[in-house]
């Protein structure tokens, strides 16, 4: 299983970006997906989660109300739509997958994740 994260870039504060995470070889029915980020000098933190059946979603407090996690119609991609971006959102963003077939579980700890994408840089200028 490979995860490919893309969509990062440089944006001004208040702007928006949409990150994509494409999962190879298997449909999203087999994976709960999480988005994590790591800012310079800080530990990696989880920010958004979606269950493998798509029924449950959750967000970390710093991004609630601004970020939206969603699944694509093609069932191989998960998106993270980021609005009202702030300079403190600057980080490398990673998507990760837990192998768990069609259930409503959410996974919020890094060590629960089996597969990781390579990361995409998001830089928000003030």
Model pLDDT for residues 8-61, shown as the tens digit of each residue: 999 999 999 999 999 988 888 899 999 999 999 999 999 999 999 999 999 999
Query: How far, CA to CA in Å, does 42 sit from each of 12, 48, 72, 111, 122?
Result: 22, 18, 31, 17, 15
* Number of helical H runs and strand E runs in the chain: 0, 11
Model pLDDT for residues 58-113, shown as the tens digit of each residue: 999 999 999 999 998 767 999 999 999 999 999 999 999 999 999 999 999 999 99
């Amino acid at each position: 299983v490979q995860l490919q994260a893309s969509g990062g870039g440089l944006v001004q504060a208040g702007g928006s970006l949409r990150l994509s995470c494409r999962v190879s070889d298997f449909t999203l029915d087999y994976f709960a997906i999480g988005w994590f980020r790591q800012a310079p000098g800080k530990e990696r933190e989880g920010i958004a989660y979606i269950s493998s059946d798509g029924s449950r979603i959750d967000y970390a407090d710093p991004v609630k109300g601004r970020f939206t996690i969603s699944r694509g119609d093609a069932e191989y991609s998960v998106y993270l739509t980021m609005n009202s971006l702030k300079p403190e959102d600057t980080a490398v963003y990673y998507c990760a997958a837990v192998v768990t077939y069609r259930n409503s579980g959410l996974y919020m700890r890094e060590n629960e994740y089996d597969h990781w994408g390579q990361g995409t840089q998001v830089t928000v200028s003030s």
